[in-house]
Structure 1
Amino acid sequence: MSLQYLRALAAVGVVLFHQFQSVSPIFTVGRYGVGLFFVISGIIMVSLTEGRSIRPLNFFIDRLTRVAPMYWLATFVTSVLAAVGIYMPSTYSHGVVHLILSCLFIPALNEHGVMMPTLFIGWTLNYEMFFYLVFGMLLAVRGSYRLVLLSAIFLALASFGAMLPQGVDAVHFYTSPYLLEFLAGCCLGSIFGISLTKLRPWPALGLVMAVIGVMGCLAFVFPLLVSGTATVLLVAALMWAERCGYMPTLPFALMLGNASYSIYLFQQVAFDAVQAVLRLLHYRPGLHTVPTKCLAVFLAIALGVAIYRFVEVPLTKRIRKAIDSWQGMAESSRKAAATARV
């Protein structure tokens, strides 16, 4: 439950940040929801793969099935809105090549000189896919060495990025300290596991404090990790509270956590819809007033929940069912071929 609550907090925080950052500085805290998503992602990756024999290819297929279809759908909707003049930020790219790169999760500069995918919030998914790529390849290594190797790779990349001069955009992207937030999540996943029963309480507490201490020290080199350290502390505290039985069941928060991906992806669609209606009503202030911003936030959350229930869940089930069927047939073919050779 704690991870679902945190996913809800991250998604709603980002939505509030995008609408209210100009209203009060307190809403800038919402921008750290991105780092919270990265930490949670690291926890889930380790928790779901430790102690299991998973082929890297199967892992990649599973992650792509989970992330890509809804992202592609959101990107398509964004492109349609741009084509009819509803979505038109100053940094939007109409280039077909840039659209293809965006759908392939490849960060690239657009014609405005900005490294932003067609759906601007998709930059976080470019990081996610890079995390999955590195983590997935390490599944070929024995489990006891994975976290050590992952730590070495991400620390080396982040250190290299810190030494680079400004201007090498793609290299800076893949050497960002965001990698270390994902790594911290992997450490928490190794300590707790998704069932929260891996280690006895006090050894686990010591390891958690060690992770937070290392993050705090790294923050002197990577300022981004100041917020990252606070994020890891928050996540660890909630996971600890759940393990100790202090986590209440909050159905509404669970629902938002389940729908967090759709809320995150389609928030701009909701904002644009509200803006378009306000223009039709000749309401000149648009989304610059607090009431209209509140309306946009409410619609973004409601739209995300609806899309999760009626699109994301059935679409993901159908895709995974088709993939499972394909993999089953492929496995049967391999066994038949092996039997024939014998």
Structure 2
Amino acid sequence: MLISVQALRALAAWVVFGHHFTQVFFEFEVHNPLAYLFADKGGIGVDIFFVISGLVIFLATADKALTPWQFMLMRLARIAPAYWFYTLLMAVLVLTVPSMFPDAELALGHVLLSLLFIPAENPGGYGVYPLLDAGWTLNFEMLFYVLFAVALLVGRSYRLWVVAGLLYLVCCALSPALDLASGFYHNDIVLEFLMGIVIGMLYQRGWCRARAWLPLSGIAVALAAIYHGADVPRALEWGVPSAILVISCVTLEPYFQGSRILKMLGDCSYSVYLIHVLVLAAGRWVAERNAIDPYTILPVCIVVTALGAYVSYQWLEKATYRPLKRWLGVEDQAIISRQKY
């Protein structure tokens, strides 16, 4: 179990929480230095997620004879139930408490497309987003899963090149030519999945080993690059530093092993990602009606998100995923590795 990846995944989820706090309560117009840092840089949590996704999907299939169909069923079983639940919960809240989501509009067709992970213009008029806004990243995830499923038809050593070719075909050729989902997939962020696959290949071959000073230096360099930024495509500005963070944490794995707390934080990170915007919207709604300062209600939002994510992981994610996994007869190896240090 790569506890280092779990820890980084948890950190990424809470960085995104901080980013959306500044959006929901302040529309990114913040002057506190720490709040400004989250507003300006907090979106990088998504890039870290994408790199980690490439890594764990490679490791999930490296030592398993999975068919493309089995792989897709496993991924759907892991991702879809919780996302469907919170998407439908938001639909209910929009219907019953519309003032909680003043920019949201319900349209049956859009809700169905959201549940099917198909990008579509949000009826609220603010771009190509599903009903549960945070789900835009899952549309990219599902595309990656489909393409990786095709790559399972070739040998492990060729999968990186097959996925790279398919991503280029879909995102750089077909998407702009056919104007797929208003060009949604024509985004260099997809390259971050490939970065994760490369890290998975290096780890599988035993090359992610070094004295602690080297990965710690890598983390420092990555954080400095994130802080200063650059006028370059996102895959370079945030994707490369994210990849450096991931490979540095993987290299530090011996120092993370055995931490149950970090493992649990990582386990709950997906639910944190799904529910935090709902909690923040509810927090803003309560704060506005009771004249509560946003920074006063922030700790309440953090606690509710953390507790809600734990319950969600235990009673929603595990309750649906594990029975489906047993029914499929395939062990989940998304963050499992047999490499010994």
Q: Is the shorter-chain TM-score for this pair beyond 0.5, marking a shared fold?
A: yes
Aligned to 2:333: none
Q: Residues 154 and 183 of structure 1 are in contact (CA less than 8 Å); yes or no, is this contact kept in structure 2?
A: no
**CA offset digits 1:22-57 (Å, max 9, x no partner):** 442111322111111111110011111124321100
**CA offset digits 1:188-210 (Å, max 9, x no partner):** 011103xxx634747xx9xxx9x
Aligned to 1:116: 129
Q: Which is worse superposed, 59-68 or 85-94?
A: 85-94
Instruction: Output the TM-score relative to the length of structure 2.
Output: 0.79
**Partner of residue 319 from structure 2, selected from 294, 314, 334:** 314
Q: Residues 189 and 234 of structure 2 are in contact (CA less than 8 Å); yes or no, is this contact kept in structure 1?
A: no
SS of residue in 2 equivalent to 1:175:
coil
Which amino acid is the alignment partner of residue 206 of structure 2?
K
**1:52-91 pair list within 5 angstroms:** 52-85=64-97, 88-91=100-103
Could you tell me how far 1:103 is from its partner in structure 2? 0.3
Q: Residues 191 and 199 of structure 1 are in contact (CA less than 8 Å); yes or no, is this contact kept in structure 2?
A: yes
SS of residue in 1 equivalent to 2:121:
coil
Which amino acid is the alignment partner of residue 268 of structure 2?
A
Q: Residues 100 and 282 of structure 2 are in contact (CA less than 8 Å); yes or no, is this contact kept in structure 1?
A: no
Q: Are 1:265 and 2:274 an aligned pair?
A: yes
The number of aligned residues is 303
Distance in structure 2 (CA, Å) of the matches to 1:223 and 1:48:
27
**Partner of residue 175 from structure 1, selected from 186, 196, 201:** 186
Which amino acid is the alignment partner of residue 310 of structure 1?
W
User: Considering only aligned residues, what root-mean-square deviation do their CA atoms show, in Å?
Assistant: 3.0
Could you tell me how far 1:260 is from its partner in structure 2? 0.5
Q: Residues 68 and 149 of structure 2 are in contact (CA less than 8 Å); yes or no, is this contact kept in structure 1?
A: yes
Label 1:272 to 1:87 Cα distance change in 2 as closer, same or farther (>3 A).
farther
Which amino acid is the alignment partner of residue 95 of structure 2?
A
Distance in structure 2 (CA, Å) of the matches to 1:36 and 1:311:
24
Instruction: Output the TM-score relative to the length of structure 1.
Output: 0.79
Q: Are 1:153 and 2:163 an aligned pair?
A: no
Aligned to 2:336: none
Could you tell me how far 1:181 is from its partner in structure 2? 0.5
Label 1:324 to 1:241 Cα distance change in 2 as closer, same or farther (>3 A).
closer
**Partner of residue 152 from structure 2, selected from 123, 127, 139:** 139
Distance in structure 2 (CA, Å) of the matches to 1:129 and 1:223:
20
SS of residue in 2 equivalent to 1:67:
helix
Distance in structure 2 (CA, Å) of the matches to 1:323 and 1:148:
28
Distance in structure 2 (CA, Å) of the matches to 1:156 and 1:148:
12
Distance in structure 2 (CA, Å) of the matches to 1:146 and 1:192:
16
Could you tell me how far 1:312 is from its partner in structure 2? 1.7
Distance in structure 1 (CA, Å) of the matches to 2:64 and 2:271:
29
Q: Residues 87 and 272 of structure 1 are in contact (CA less than 8 Å); yes or no, is this contact kept in structure 2?
A: no
Q: Residues 44 and 238 of structure 2 are in contact (CA less than 8 Å); yes or no, is this contact kept in structure 1?
A: yes
Aligned to 2:20: 18
Q: Which is worse superposed, 81-90 or 30-39?
A: 81-90
Distance in structure 2 (CA, Å) of the matches to 1:61 and 1:292:
40
Which amino acid is the alignment partner of residue 131 of structure 1?
F
Could you tell me how far 1:299 is from its partner in structure 2? 1.6
Aligned to 2:338: none
% of aligned pairs identical? Answer: 31
Distance in structure 1 (CA, Å) of the matches to 2:69 and 2:112:
22
Distance in structure 2 (CA, Å) of the matches to 1:199 and 1:274:
46
Label 1:86 to 1:268 Cα distance change in 2 as closer, same or farther (>3 A).
farther
Q: Residues 161 and 172 of structure 1 are in contact (CA less than 8 Å); yes or no, is this contact kept in structure 2?
A: no
Aligned to 1:305: 310
Asked which structure has the greater RCO (Cα within 8 Å, sep 6+), the reply is: 2
Could you tell me how far 1:168 is from its partner in structure 2? 4.4
Distance in structure 2 (CA, Å) of the matches to 1:220 and 1:59:
38
**CA offset digits 1:117-172 (Å, max 9, x no partner):** 0111110101100000001111112222111222233345555599x59x946253
Structure 2, unmatched stretches of 5+, are 23-27, 331-341
Label 1:251 to 1:304 Cα distance change in 2 as closer, same or farther (>3 A).
same
Could you tell me how far 1:220 is from its partner in structure 2? 7.8
Q: Residues 54 and 195 of structure 2 are in contact (CA less than 8 Å); yes or no, is this contact kept in structure 1?
A: yes
Label 1:189 to 1:83 Cα distance change in 2 as closer, same or farther (>3 A).
same
Q: Residues 117 and 138 of structure 2 are in contact (CA less than 8 Å); yes or no, is this contact kept in structure 1?
A: yes
SS of residue in 1 equivalent to 2:255:
coil
SS of residue in 2 equivalent to 1:246:
helix
